[in-house]
């Protein structure tokens, strides 16, 4: 996901395993969901169980369902430009190694 400065949202720019409709639909505000928080705080974020984690952003109408996710901010010298996310369809334990 990359930050769109005009719309002030994160948008999916490249994806694997998502249909085009989902790619076009997903737009997250800064601080919204795990990806938006990772962007806002410039640190990795983990959602081990999306069904229980209130930060896990469910996108209305999105066909794909994910249980776990980690988000890693894309940092440059000028700041955060986006977030790399790795959603998992199955529940899995991920370890947050950031401090």
Q: How confident is the model at residue 16 (pLDDT cuts 50, 70, 90)?
A: confident
pLDDT > 90: what percent of the chain? Answer: 36
Give burial (CB, 10 Å; 0-12/13-18/19+) of 1: buried
CA distance 61 to 56: 15
Q: Flag whether pLDDT at 95 surpasses 80.
A: no
Q: Which CATH superfamily is domain 2-88 in?
A: GAF domain (3.30.450.40)
Q: How confident is the model at residue 79 (pLDDT cuts 50, 70, 90)?
A: very high
Q: Where are the domains of the chain?
A: 2-88
CA distance 42 to 45: 9
Residue bearing the bigger pLDDT, 9 or 24: 9
The pTM is what? 0.73
Q: Report how far apart, in Å, the C-alpha atoms of 58 and of each of 18, 35, 87 are.
A: 14, 12, 12
List helix spans (H) across the chain: 20-25, 33-41
């Amino acid at each position: 996901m990359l930050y769109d400065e005009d719309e002030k949202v994160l948008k999916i720019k490249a994806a694997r395993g998502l249909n085009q409709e989902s790619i076009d639909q997903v737009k997250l505000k800064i601080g919204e969901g795990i990806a938006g928080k990772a962007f806002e705080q410039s640190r990795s974020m983990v959602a081990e169980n999306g069904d229980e984690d209130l930060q896990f952003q469910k996108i209305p109408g999105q066909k794909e369902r994910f249980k776990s996710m980690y988000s890693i901010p894309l940092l440059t010298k000028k700041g955060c430009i986006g977030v790399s996310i790795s959603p998992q369809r199955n529940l899995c334990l991920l370890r947050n190694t950031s401090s």
